[in-house]
C-alpha cells in the first residue's frame, strides 16, 4: 500500500491511529473481495439509498447557448445527498471490523444525517461532531441527526466549522481506537480514507456513464462538480477519467475578493502542506498555520481538499475554478425557478460554473453537472442571504 | 544528540529517571518562555520539550490546545521559538531542548533549513506527533546530517513489528504513550502500563524510553521509576503556570511542580 496520489496523501497521524488504519485497509480489501459484502452493499444501495439516481435533462438552462445541461441527481438519494453512498458502505465495514461505535464529522450536516441514518438502520451508535457555526446555519440537519438517534457534539474551537469538527473527531478516535470506527465523510484524511471514500462514491460515476451513454448515445463533453473535501466530484469524475471528457472541479470563491480568509479554494490559492493526516493543497500562511476559510456553503468551508484532487490538479487532468457566494445563490434561485429543483448551496457552485462555462462550448455540447445534494437544509440561510442582497441593491436583485 | 545521550547516561549511572518538562514556546508570552526554561531547568528538569505552536494540534488536549492558541496569538512561530532556544543557551542553560511540533509549520520552514537553524540555535532534536516513523525519511535524513535527535512514538496498540521498526528509526529516545488519547492530566495510570512498557523496552533495546500522556503527579512518577528512562509532564505543568497571576508567580509555580516531580524521579 502506498496511500499516495503522486506527491499527495500519506498517513500523517498519531502513532495510536496507525494500527487502526492498517486494520481498516486490510478489512476493506478483504471485503471488496467478498461477494457477500458486495451483494449486501448493492442491496442496501438499491433498497435503502434509492439507487440508481436518475439523470435529469434541463429544459431551459443552457438552451440560450445551444448547450444541453444534465444533472446527476444525488439529491434524490435517501437523506438527500451523495454522502449516504459512503456512509452505508463504511457502516457495513464497521460491522466487519466489529466496531459498534461510530464517530463522524459534518459540515453541512449532510454527512452527519447520512451517518445517523445508516447507523440507525444497521443498529450502530453514532456520535457526530459539528462546528457550532455550521450547526446554526444548518439547523434542520441538526434536528434530523438527533431524531435519527445520533448524539451531536458541537465544537466551539477554531472557526467552529468543518475543519474543527474533523479535529475533534480525530481526537475522539485517538482516545477510543479499539472500539470506535471513524466514518470519515470525504476523500480526505490519512490513507486509506481517500481511497475507500472514493471507491464508495464511484457508484455515481459508473451510473452516470452508463445512463449518459444510454440516453445521449455518447459521453458528455464535460463533467462539472463542486469540490470541498471533494467526494462527490471524485465519485463522478472516476467514471470519466480515462476518456476524452473535460472534468471541472468548482471550489468556493466566497465573497469573490480572492483575499485570504474570504474563500475556500485551496486548489487555486493554497500550497502543499500537511493537515489532518494527509499531504495536500492547503490554505496556509507563511508560517504554516492553517488559514480561516469562508463559503456560504458549509460543506465547502474547508481549507484543504482530498489528496487525489491535488494530484489531478498537478497532472492537469482536472481543471479547478471557483464560483462565489453570489453566483451560487443566483444558481440556487435559477435552478429552482427554471427547472423545479432546489439544489444544495454546495451543488449550486457547480451549477453556477456550468452556466458560466456554457457559452464557451460549441452548440450541441452536452454538460453533466453532479447535483450532489438538495437544498432543503439551506432554505433558511439561503433565503436570508438573498434577502440581504436585495436590501443592499435597493430591492432590484 | 550528544547532550541528550550524556544526560541519559548520567541519569542511568545514578539510577534516576529523567524528567522531561514540556513548555509551549510563546506561552504565556514569547518574553516569559525563556525565563520559564531557565526556571524548570534549575528546578531539576533533565530535558525540556519546547512546543512550536500549530493552529490544529490534533494530538493535544484542552490545556495544551489553549496554550498553543495563546502562543499563536502572541506571535509564536518556528523562528521565534528558535530565537528562544538561542537565548536560553546564551544565558547558560545546558539542559537538552527538544522541539515539539506538528508537521506543517516545520515543512513550511523547510526541513533542511529548519534542522540547520535548530542546530545553530542549540536545540537537540525534534518530536513530531503527526509524523509516524514510516513517513519520516526526509526528516531522518536531515536529523542525521545535523546530528539531531528524531523521536517517534509508540502507542499501547502498536504491534510488535511496529514497535521494533519505530524504535529502530528513533534517534535520542522513544516517546511511549502511556494511554490512548490526547495530552492531558489523568487521575491514574493505565493498569496495563507495566506489561506495555515491558514490550516497549524489549523492542527498544538500548534506546531510552520516555513515557508521557497523563502523568501529572509525583506518585505517577514514582510508579514508573525503573520502568522507563524518563517521564514527560506537560499539561500539569502548563496548568500550574496558567493558574498563577504574575510572571514571578508562574516561575514559582513551575519550579515548585518540577522540583516535586524530580524528587520523585530519584
CA distances from B105 to A8, A379, B125 (A): 17, 39, 16
pLDDT at residue A392, as a whole number: 84
DSSP code at position A269: H
Distance of CA B226 to the CA centre of its chain: 19
Q: Determine the residue among B63, B106, B136, B181 to mutate to test chain A binding: the one whose Cβ has the most chain A Cβ atoms within 10 Å.
A: B181
State the average pLDDT over residues A133-137: 91
Instruction: Assess if residue A7 is contained within a domain.
Output: no
- Domain-by-domain residue ranges, chain B? 2-265
Under the banding of pLDDT at 50, 70 and 90, the label for residue A2 is: low
| pLDDT tens digits, one per residue of A299-321 | 999 999 999 999 999 999 999 99
Residues of A designated as active site: 83, 105, 372
Same domain, residue pair A88 and A65 = no
Domain endpoint, select from A193, A226, A261: A193
Same domain, residue pair A74 and A221 = yes
Residue that wins the pLDDT comparison between A258 and A224: A224
Residue A115: name the closest of A149, A139, A143 by CA: A149
Q: Determine the residue among B72, B77, B108, B163 to mutate to test chain A binding: the one whose Cβ has the most chain A Cβ atoms within 10 Å.
A: B108
Under the banding of pLDDT at 50, 70 and 90, the label for residue A69 is: very high
Number of domains in chain A: 2
Under the banding of pLDDT at 50, 70 and 90, the label for residue A1 is: very low
Same domain, residue pair A138 and A28 = yes
Q: Which CATH architecture has domain B2-265?
A: Alpha-Beta Barrel (3.20)
Same domain, residue pair A180 and A218 = no
**Which residues in chain A have their CB less than 8 angstroms from residue B55's CB?**
158, 289-290
State the average pLDDT over residues A151-166: 91
Nearest CA in chain A to B78: A287
Same domain, residue pair A104 and A217 = no
ipTM value > 0.90? yes
Cell 500522556 locates to: B213
Asked if A282 is an interface residue toward chain B (Cβ–Cβ < 8 A), one would say yes
Under the banding of pLDDT at 50, 70 and 90, the label for residue A137 is: confident
- Nearest-angstrom CA–CA distance, B236 and A320: 47
Same domain, residue pair A61 and A156 = no
Same domain, residue pair A145 and A208 = no
pLDDT at residue A395, as a whole number: 54
Residue A250: name the closest of A356, A323, A357 by CA: A323
Domain endpoint, select from A193, A221, A247: A193
Instruction: Assess if residue A10 is contained within a domain.
Output: no
Instruction: Assess if residue A294 is contained within a domain.
Output: yes
| pLDDT tens digits, one per residue of A340-379 | 999 999 999 999 999 999 999 999 999 999 999 999 999 9
Structural domain boundaries enclosing A290 = 51-80+202-392
- In CATH, what number is assigned to the domain containing residue A170? 3.40.50.1100
Q: Mean pLDDT of successive 10-residue segments in chain B (266 residues)? A: 96 97 98 98 98 96 95 98 98 98 98 98 98 97 98 96 97 95 86 93 97 93 94 96 98 98 96
- Nearest-angstrom CA–CA distance, A267 and A250: 10
Tell if the CB–CB gap between A15 and B156 is shorter than 8 Å: no
Same domain, residue pair A269 and A357 = yes
Same domain, residue pair A138 and A240 = no
Tell me whether the omega of the peptide bond preceding residue B16 falls within 30 degrees of 0, making it cis: no
- DSSP string for residues in B55-98: S--TT--HHHHHHHHHHHHTT--HHHHHHHHHHHHHTT--S-EE
**Which residues in chain A have their CB less than 8 angstroms from residue B154's CB?**
15
Torsion region of A394: left, alpha or beta (phi above 0 gives left; psi -120 to 50 gives alpha): left
CB-based burial label for B155 (10 Å; 0-12, 13-18, 19+) = buried
Residue A19 is nearest to which of B58, B77, B158, comparing CB atoms? B158
Same domain, residue pair A165 and A265 = no
Tell if the CB–CB gap between A174 and B78 is shorter than 8 Å: no
Per mean pLDDT, which range of A15-24, A379-388, B182-191 is the poorest?
Answer: B182-191
Same domain, residue pair A233 and A324 = yes
Same domain, residue pair A256 and A384 = yes
Under the banding of pLDDT at 50, 70 and 90, the label for residue A397 is: very low
pLDDT at residue A158, as a whole number: 80
| Segments in chain A forming alpha helices (H) | 15-32, 35-44, 83-97, 110-122, 132-137, 139-147, 162-175, 193-216, 231-237, 266-269, 307-315, 325-339, 345-357, 379-392
CB-based burial label for A125 (10 Å; 0-12, 13-18, 19+) = middle
Domain endpoint, select from A193, A211, A228: A193
- Nearest-angstrom CA–CA distance, B133 and B179: 19
- Nearest-angstrom CA–CA distance, A68 and B128: 52
CB-based burial label for A391 (10 Å; 0-12, 13-18, 19+) = exposed
Amino acid at each position: 500500500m502506498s496511500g499516495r496520489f503522486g506527491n499527495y496523501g500519506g498517513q500523517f497521524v498519531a502513532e495510536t491511529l496507525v494500527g487502526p488504519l492498517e486494520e481498516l485497509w486490510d478489512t476493506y480489501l478483504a471485503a471488496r473481495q467478498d461477494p457477500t459484502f458486495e451483494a449486501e452493499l448493492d442491496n442496501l444501495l438499491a433498497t435503502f439509498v434509492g439507487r440508481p439516481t436518475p439523470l435529469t435533462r434541463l429544459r431551459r438552462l443552457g438552451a440560450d447557448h445551444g448547450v444541453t445541461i444534465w444533472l446527476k441527481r444525488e439529491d434524490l438519494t435517501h437523506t438527500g445527498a451523495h454522502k449516504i453512498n459512503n456512509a452505508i458502505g463504511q457502516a457495513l465495514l464497521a460491522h466487519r471490523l466489529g466496531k459498534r461505535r461510530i464517530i463522524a464529522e459534518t459540515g453541512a450536516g449532510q454527512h452527519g444525517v447520512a451517518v445517523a441514518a445508516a447507523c440507525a438502520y444497521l443498529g450502530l451508535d453514532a456520535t457526530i461532531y459539528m462546528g457550532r457555526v455550521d450547526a446554526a446555519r444548518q439547523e434542520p440537519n441538526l434536528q434530523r441527526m438527533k431524531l435519527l438517534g445520533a448524539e451531536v457534539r458541537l465544537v466551539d474551537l477554531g472557526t467552529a466549522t468543518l475543519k474543527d469538527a474533523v479535529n475533534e473527531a480525530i481526537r475522539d478516535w485517538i482516545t477510543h481506537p479499539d472500539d470506535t470506527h471513524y466514518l470519515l465523510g470525504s476523500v480526505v484524511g490519512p490513507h486509506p480514507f481517500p481511497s475507500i471514500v472514493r471507491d464508495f462514491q464511484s457508484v455515481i460515476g459508473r451510473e452516470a456513464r452508463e445512463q449518459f451513454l444510454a440516453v445521449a448515445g455518447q459521453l458528455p463533453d464535460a463533467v462539472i462538480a463542486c469540490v470541498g473535501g471533494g467526494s462527490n466530484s471524485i465519485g463522478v469524475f472516476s467514471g470519466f477519467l480515462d476518456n476524452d471528457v473535460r472534468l471541472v472541479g468548482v471550489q468556493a470563491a466566497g465573497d469573490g475578493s480572492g483575499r485570504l480568509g474570504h474563500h475556500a479554494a485551496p486548489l487555486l490559492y493554497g500550497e502543499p502542506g500537511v493537515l489532518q493526516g494527509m499531504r495536500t493543497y492547503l490554505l496556509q500562511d507563511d508560517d504554516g498555520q492553517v488559514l480561516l476559510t469562508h463559503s456560504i456553503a458549509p460543506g465547502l468551508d474547508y481549507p484543504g481538499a482530498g489528496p487525489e484532487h491535488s494530484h489531478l490538479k498537478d497532472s492537469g487532468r482536472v481543471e479547478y475554478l471557483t464560483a462565489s457566494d453570489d453566483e451560487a445563490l443566483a444558481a440556487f434561485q435559477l435552478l429552482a425557478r427554471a427547472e423545479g429543483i432546489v439544489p444544495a448551496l454546495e451543488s449550486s457552485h457547480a451549477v453556477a460554473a456550468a452556466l458560466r462555462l456554457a457559452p464557451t462550448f460549441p452548440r450541441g455540447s452536452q454538460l453533466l453537472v453532479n447535483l450532489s445534494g438538495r437544498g432543503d437544509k439551506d432554505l433558511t440561510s439561503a433565503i436570508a442571504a438573498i434577502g440581504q442582497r436585495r436590501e443592499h441593491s435597493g430591492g432590484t436583485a | 544528540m550528544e547532550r541528550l545521550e550524556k544526560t541519559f547516561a548520567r541519569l542511568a549511572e545514578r539510577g534516576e529517571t529523567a524528567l522531561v518538562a514540556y513548555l509551549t514556546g510563546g506561552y504565556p508570552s514569547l518574553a516569559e518562555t525563556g525565563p520559564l526554561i531557565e526556571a524548570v531547568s534549575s528546578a531539576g528538569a533533565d530535558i525540556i520539550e519546547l512546543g512550536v505552536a500549530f493552529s490544529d494540534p490534533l494530538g493535544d488536549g484542552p490545556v495544551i490546545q489553549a496554550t498553543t492558541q495563546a502562543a499563536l496569538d502572541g506571535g509564536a512561530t518556528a523562528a521565534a521559538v528558535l530565537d528562544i532556544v538561542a537565548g536560553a543557551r546564551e544565558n547558560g542553560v545546558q539542559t537538552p531542548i527538544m522541539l515539539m511540533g506538528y508537521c506543517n509549520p516545520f515543512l513550511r520552514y523547510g526541513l533542511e533549513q529548519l534542522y540547520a537553524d535548530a542546530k545553530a540555535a542549540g536545540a537537540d532534536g525534534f518530536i513530531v506527533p503527526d509524523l509516524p516513523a514510516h513517513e519520516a525519511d526526509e526528516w531522518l535524513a536531515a536529523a542525521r546530517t545535523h546530528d539531531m535527535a528524531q523521536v517517534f512514538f509508540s502507542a499501547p496498540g502498536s504491534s510488535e513489528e511496529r514497535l521494533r521498526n519505530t524504535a529502530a528509526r528513533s534517534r535520542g529516545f522513544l516517546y511511549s504513550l502511556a494511554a490512548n488519547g490526547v495530552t492531558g492530566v489523568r487521575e491514574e495510570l493505565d493498569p496495563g502500563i507495566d506489561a506495555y512498557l515491558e514490550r516497549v523496552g524489549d523492542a527498544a533495546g538500548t534506546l531510552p524510553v520516555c513515557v508521557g500522556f497523563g502523568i501529572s503527579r509525583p506518585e505517577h512518577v514514582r510508579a514508573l521509576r525503573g520502568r522507563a528512562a524518563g517521564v514527560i509532564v506537560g499539561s500539569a505543568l502548563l496548568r500550574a503556570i496558567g493558574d498563577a497571576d504574575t510572571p514571578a508567580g508562574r516561575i514559582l509555580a513551575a519550579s515548585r511542580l518540577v522540583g516535586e516531580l524530580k524528587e520523585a524521579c530519584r
